[in-house]
Amino acid sequence: MDKPLPILASIDTNEAHRLRAARFRRALQVDGHFLLGKVKNLSHDIRFQRDGQTLNIELKDFTGDHQSDFVASIINQEGHLYQQALTGREAQDPLIIIVLGEDTEVASAIVRAVSLRGFRGQEAEDKIIEYTQMVEDFEANCEGCNIRIWRLKENPYGRMLHRVRKILEGGNLSSFRPTPADGERKLVGLSMLIGNGIGPARSQSILEKFDVTLEPKKPDTYLSDCKGIGPKLASIVQETLSLPQEITIRPKVRKAKRSEVCKIRRDADECN
């Protein structure tokens, strides 16, 4: 199977000098599925591109005194975050706003914002509720506009790259499917293959009188001849479906020794 092309990752000029950009670059090196492009003027902090697809990332972090530009931009209604979201929506490319923290840090940033504005007592409690609702409402509306909000605290850049790769390359949930017990594999396989009213009970009735098997379309055909199916997987299929060993793994052709080749040639010369 051909290896997927690397995903091109670009960093905005204003983002490139920040400490988190260095952390992002290190994560790219560790992941190995990405190619770092040139620093350029972008609509958002980071841009990923692959096969004509584009995905934009806007990063929002926290300062050491529990302040957050994400929270501040929402409750101050200063328009910067709104404009970033609007730009992403108008470009019709997927946009993800990544908050480099967790729920507790967002809550702390809201409390800090209330404190800095001088609210006290019941008024402060009311403002905390109001600002919390504003943040929740903004995030909900972003999701409604197909703008994703990720809150990532632990290993944020590694997790971001993993998710971005699956978005651009396509996800696959097959490895998470339940594995039926040995005695149930044929039953489950037959139910899924036929469908149309043939469930486990009727499949079991069929299997009492019939075998589920694979028949080669042509002579001299083996499971191990199939693309992506090596001897190990071929043996698993053979065992699951109780297939004959004769169609599982193609026998290796033994190379004749030099002495045997010479003998064959001498015999041929004598016959001539």
Q: Supply the pLDDT for residue 108.
A: 95
Q: What is the pLDDT of the chain when averaged over all its residues? A: 86
Q: pLDDT per residue over 3-22, tens digit each? A: 678 999 999 999 999 999 99
Cβ density class 133-169: b for 16+ within 10 Å, e for less: eebeebbeebeeeebbbebbeeebbbebbebbbebbe
pLDDT of residue 125: 96
Amino acid at site 39: V
Rounded distance between C-alpha atoms, residue 231 and residue 167, angstroms = 32
Predicted local distance difference test score (pLDDT) of residue 212 = 73
At residue 268, does pLDDT exceed 60? no
DSSP codes of every residue in 25-86: HHHHHHH-SEEE---B--SSSEEEEETTEEEEEEEE-B-TTS-BHHHHHHHTT-SHHHHHHH
Give the span between the Cα atoms of 72 and 81, in whole angstroms: 10
Q: Stretch 52-57: mean pLDDT, rounded?
A: 95
Q: What pLDDT is attached to residue 261? A: 53
272 pLDDT exceeds 60? no
Per-residue pLDDT tens digits for 131-151: 999 999 999 999 999 999 999
**Stretch 86-90: mean pLDDT:** 86
d(CA 269, CA 202): 67
Domains and CATH numbers, the chain: 7-174 (3.40.50.10130), 176-247 (no CATH)
**pLDDT grade for 34, boundaries at 50, 70 and 90:** very high
Q: Cα 89 to the chain's mean position, in Å?
A: 23
Residue type for position 170: G
Q: What is the pLDDT of residue 202?
A: 81
Which residues are within 8 A (CB) of 129 and not within 5 positions of it... i.e. 6 or more apart? none
Strand partners, 148: 96
Residue type, 145: C
Q: Are 60 and 71 in contact (CB under 8 A)?
A: no
The pLDDT confidence band at residue 269, using thresholds 50, 70 and 90, is low
> Is the pLDDT reported for residue 236 higher than 70?
yes
pLDDT band at 259 (very low <50, low <70, confident <90, very high): low
In the sheet that holds 46-50, the strands lie side by side as 34-36, 7-11, 46-50, 53-60, 95-99, 147-151
CA 271, CA 48: separation in Å to the nearest integer? 71
The rounded distance, in Å, linking the Cα atoms of 71 and 62 is 9
Q: What local confidence, expressed as pLDDT, does residue 180 receive?
A: 64
Residues 162-196 have pLDDT tens digits of: 999 999 998 888 777 666 666 677 777 777 777 77
